[in-house]
Amino acid sequence: MPLMVAQNTPSSTKLKGDQILYSFDEDGDTSIHKSEIFTDSLSGEQTAFINVPLAYLYHDDVINPRGINKSISLLIKEFHKPNPQLHLSLARLDGDKIRIFDGQHKAVAQIMLGVKSIVVRLFISPDVERLIETNTNAGSKLKQIAFDKAIVRQLHDTLYSERLKKYQVDHYLDEDNFSFSEQNLVDYFKGERGNIRLYIINSQKNAITRSPENKLQAYINFEGRGTQLPLSYSTFEKTFLATFVNAKTILTTSINFRVEEGLNPRILEKEQLIRLSNILAEELLIGKYDTEIGTHRIENNIAEGRGDSIPDAHLIAYRLFKEEIMYNWIQYLRLLIKNHFAFAGTMYNEDNLFQQKIPDQLWENIQTFVINLRELPIWKDRSMSMTIFGGKNNYDFWKTVFQTARTPDGTLVLTAPLNVADMIMR
């Protein structure tokens, strides 16, 4: 959830020399308050420290799209002791609104303990793009705060959008003119070439994952690991997205290339990967995985004789979406697609499989593969709870299992090695 939705805004805010003047008269405070303005010597950003009534605070979902997560409970306990807040929440003046973009958990924790106003460091007329980049780096490269990968993807999506707009403005193009390529963007913003490449790829990953049409999204935990949902975003990124969205591919064709024909490579990639996500959701999760049971101590409960309440369909889904297992069967899906194009005798883009039209027969084969994978006896075999599934085995362990039908120590666990041709037989 967000910080809050405020109803009021400062009735007047103006700068006077090295001070900011403001009032909160709709909250019953008609006084004119003054706060000193400090100018950062390196960035030139101007900030002031002000005490803001709750009714005037907004969540900043542009710079920080994160909602409130379980860590709020720890902060509530900390402030209740009472221990002081060591770092102030950061906010920006956005027109007549005060938006918190850092420290929202601290703010909400204090609100829940009855605090009526929050002291913030207020950025005045800031460079929003620079704040987005700074906040993103703080949670990724610099590791100052715990930013989930999914949030970083969203922020990069915003930064990519800003670069698109700037390119259009600088080249006197209309806002609906996308006659330039991704490579043109990389070349134009030379000073941040590596970042632009990252923004492009992460924007695509975010578009796939966060699409309202993606049924798999409901089963992805975007705020850490958790125990309710079968997939963490980290697992989805490392297995599905890393396999099918090539991080090295920057297109030289125009962004609007063959859009009207329905053959634009980025749009095809997005739409078809959403379709693949939906096949996985429909065949493995919807009506099968129970969020009330979740993932907590599944194997332990079975091994200790308390697994009767866990349906087979739930156990199958839980096991198939473990990272080390999912990564390996995703590679077989990739092989299935490559083999189809190769056997058809047509040229295809091996590095970007979903940037070309997937034929109907191949979609049928993909669905059949997923169904047959689901039906393998191993996934519901409860005798393996303390052996094969008892610990966290690595990627190579399951690669060996799929390739040889045996574990690395020779234990037989499949009736036969996984074979793509067999797995598409009805």
Reported as type and span, the H/E element at residue 148 is none
Q: For residue range 178-228, list pLDDT tens digits in order.
A: 999 999 999 999 988 888 999 899 999 999 999 999 999 999 998 766 789
Q: Is 56 exposed, middle or buried (0-12, 13-18, 19+ CB in 10 A)?
A: buried
CA-CA-CA-CA dihedral for 309, 310, 311, 317, to nearest 10 = 170
| Distance in angstroms (rounded) separating the CA atoms of residues 153 and 156 | 5
pTM over 0.85: no
From residue 393, how far is each of 132, 147, 194, 388, 420 by CA, in Å?
38, 27, 34, 8, 23
Specify the residue for token string 């689901």. 374
Q: Is 157 exposed, middle or buried (0-12, 13-18, 19+ CB in 10 A)?
A: buried
What's the token pair of residue 90?
A: 């950061």
Residue 82, preceding peptide bond in cis (omega within 30° of 0): yes
Q: For residue range 13-25, list pLDDT tens digits in order.
A: 677 778 888 888 7
Asked which of 33-42, 142-151, 167-176, 305-314 is least confident by mean pLDDT, the reply is: 142-151
The pLDDT value given to residue 11 = 47
| CB count in 10 Å sphere of residue 91 | 29
* Straight-line distance from the first to the last Cα atom of the chain, in angstroms, rounded to the nearest whole number: 45
Q: Which of 317, 119, 120 is nearest to 216 (CA)?
A: 317
The pLDDT value given to residue 6 = 42
What's the token pair of residue 111?
A: 């609100």
